Structure formats: C-alpha cells, structure tokens
Amino acid sequence: VVAVGGDGLVRDVAAGVYGTGAGMAIVPAGRGNDLARGLDLPTGAEDLAAMLVRGATRTVDVLDAAGHIVLGNVYVGVDSVATEAINRNRWLPGHLVYRLAPLGVILRWSAPEFTLTTDTGTTTARRHQVVVANSGRYGHGLHIVPSARLDSGTLEVLTVADAPRHRIIRFLGQARTGTHVHSDAVTVRTATGITLDADRAVPVHADGDYLCELPVTIRVRPAALDLVVP
C-alpha cells in the first residue's frame, strides 16, 4: 500500500495497513514529510520509482495512542497548541508557518502541570512540552528526540520543564540539530507505555493532526509494520 502525502496522511494509511500483514511505502508529498526525512527516503520521481520497485523492507514499531495508530510521535503542550495554529494557516508556506506559529503561542503560554505515569511510577510537574516519540522527528525538520528509533521496541519520552520563555525560543532553534537535549530543562526517558494528564485542557496531537483530549495512554507495538525503504 503506497501513501502519497504528508505525515498525517501517512499515519492514517498506516492505521489501515496495521494488522493486515501487508507492507507499506511512502511517497513524501506533504508540507513537513518528517517521517520520510527520518527514513532517508528519496524525493525525486525516478529515485522514488526505483525504491518502490527494488527497495528493501524495514520492520518498524508503531504507537497505540488511545486506540489510534501513530507512526511518528504523540505530543502535548506548546507544540500541540502551535500545530493547531499551523493547521489553521495552510495557505502559508510550510517553512514559514512552522517557525512563526510556536513563537506566537509562546508569547501567551503558561506551563500546565502534567502528570506522567509509567511502569516505574508517577511524576507531576509544570512542563512546557511532553513528546512521546517513535521516530523523533516533526515540525518541518526538527530532530526533537534524537535518541528515538523506529525499531527500538520502546518509546522515548521527552519533557521540557517550566523554564523562561526566552529559553524555549532558543530551544526551538537547537531542536533542528538535536542539541536542545543537553539543556537542564530537558529530560528524556525510555518506556514501553505512558499515561499523560494535566491540570487543564491541552490538545493531544500526533504527526501534525489533532488526536484526542487528555488523559491519553500510549503504548509501543513492536515490529508492527513493514515499510519499503531505499
């Protein structure tokens, strides 16, 4: 099954293919194409055609988030609110709106108190962002969770503590290369499942689209889908 589109369409197609035993290929044709970028998929027509005909198969994990299948990442906080602004302004070029929307959100933002529950316990703290990563890439080129691997059998959970706004703006620039994870405001932990909740309503997004409201439980489904790769 070939998905021709961006990360959101790829997620929807993966949800249909998951559990059928069929394989799946991706032809990147969206605004972000972050999963395709993480897989090092070609972008030219001839190279894509060659991949579809002669490509290898890579078995990857998926995330199960409140019954929804997600290939890339589930996130809640600054970036999920910014994603809603991005999707309301689809007329703007992708490289522009993906950078302006988070800045506009940060100016009016205050960190919610998030509660995270895994098999090792529960933590509650004010945080700007929680990312549950399978691919670790989103936001039109951000390497948001560099340690995430599509075939690790685990999920990586990145949290950003309640730091001053100017640090969050700098964080967005550093996320293009993954150096933001060295900040003392950033924590990354490994889990196989997690439940997220907060003290106020914050939208939960996955791969560029609205997913659900909090609370949400997310689990990894290891070796769940075959993808065609170069």
Residue by residue, DSSP assigns the chain as: -EEEE-HHHHHHHHHHHTTSS-EEEEEE-SS--HHHHHTT---SHHHHHHHHHH-EEEEEEEEEETTEEESSEEEEEHHHHHHHHHHHTTTS-HHHHHHHHHHHHHTT----EEEEEETTEEEEEEEEEEEEESS--BTTTB---TT--TTSSSEEEEEEES--HHHHHHHHHHTTTTGGGGSTTEEEEEESEEEEEESS--EEEETTEEEEESSEEEEEEEEEEEEEE-
pLDDT score for 210:
92
93 and 180 share one domain:
yes
115 and 216 share one domain:
yes
pLDDT per position as a tens digit, 77-100: 988 888 776 666 665 555 555 666
Q: Answer yes or no: are the C-beta atoms of 227 and 25 closer than 8 Å.
A: yes
23 and 90 share one domain:
no
User: Mean pLDDT lowest for which of 30-44, 122-136, 148-162?
Assistant: 30-44
pLDDT score for 4:
97
pLDDT score for 194:
98
Q: Domain for residue 132, yes or no?
A: yes
pLDDT score for 84:
72
Of the two residues 212 and 89, the one the predictor is more confident about is 212
Q: Domain for residue 230, yes or no?
A: no
133 and 57 share one domain:
no
Q: Domain for residue 227, yes or no?
A: no
**Residue 42 tokens, joined:** 């070609």
Q: Domain for residue 171, yes or no?
A: yes
pLDDT score for 195:
98
The answer to whether the Cα torsion of 53, 12, 128, 195 is positive or negative is negative
Average pLDDT, the chain: 90
d(CA 186, CA 193): 20
52 and 75 share one domain:
no
pLDDT per position as a tens digit, 149-179: 999 999 999 999 998 877 877 877 788 889 9
pLDDT score for 68:
96
Q: Domain for residue 124, yes or no?
A: yes
Please give the tally of structural domains in the chain: 2
Domain that holds residue 121: 68-222
**Where does a domain end: 29, 62, 95?**
62
Q: Quick check: 127 pLDDT over 70?
A: yes
Of the two residues 31 and 182, the one the predictor is more confident about is 182
- Measured at the alpha carbon of residue 11, what is the angle toward residues 90 and 122, in degrees to the nearest 5? 100
Q: Quick check: 226 pLDDT over 60?
A: yes
User: Mean pLDDT lowest for which of 31-35, 43-47, 64-68?
Assistant: 31-35
Q: Answer yes or no: are the C-beta atoms of 194 and 157 closer than 8 Å.
A: yes
Q: Quick check: 26 pLDDT over 70?
A: yes
pLDDT score for 74:
97
Query: What is the domain-level CATH number for residue 193?
Result: 2.60.200.40
Taking alpha carbons only, the member of 196, 171, 49, 189 closest to residue 114 is 196
The answer to whether the Cα torsion of 197, 76, 123, 195 is positive or negative is positive
58 and 75 share one domain:
no
Beta pairing class for 209-213 and 203-206:
antiparallel
124 and 173 share one domain:
yes
Q: Answer yes or no: are the C-beta atoms of 33 and 3 closer than 8 Å.
A: no
77 and 188 share one domain:
yes
pLDDT score for 139:
79
Q: Quick check: 102 pLDDT over 80?
A: no
Q: How confident is the model at residue 54 (pLDDT cuts 50, 70, 90)?
A: very high
197 and 91 share one domain:
yes
Q: Domain for residue 101, yes or no?
A: yes
Q: Quick check: 221 pLDDT over 70?
A: yes
Hey, which residues does 189 pair with through a beta bridge? 157
Q: Domain for residue 30, yes or no?
A: yes
75 and 56 share one domain:
no
Residue type, 27: V
Q: Quick check: 106 pLDDT over 70?
A: yes
Q: What are phi and psi of 53, to 5 degrees?
A: -85, -40
44 and 81 share one domain:
no
Q: Domain for residue 229, yes or no?
A: no
86 and 138 share one domain:
yes
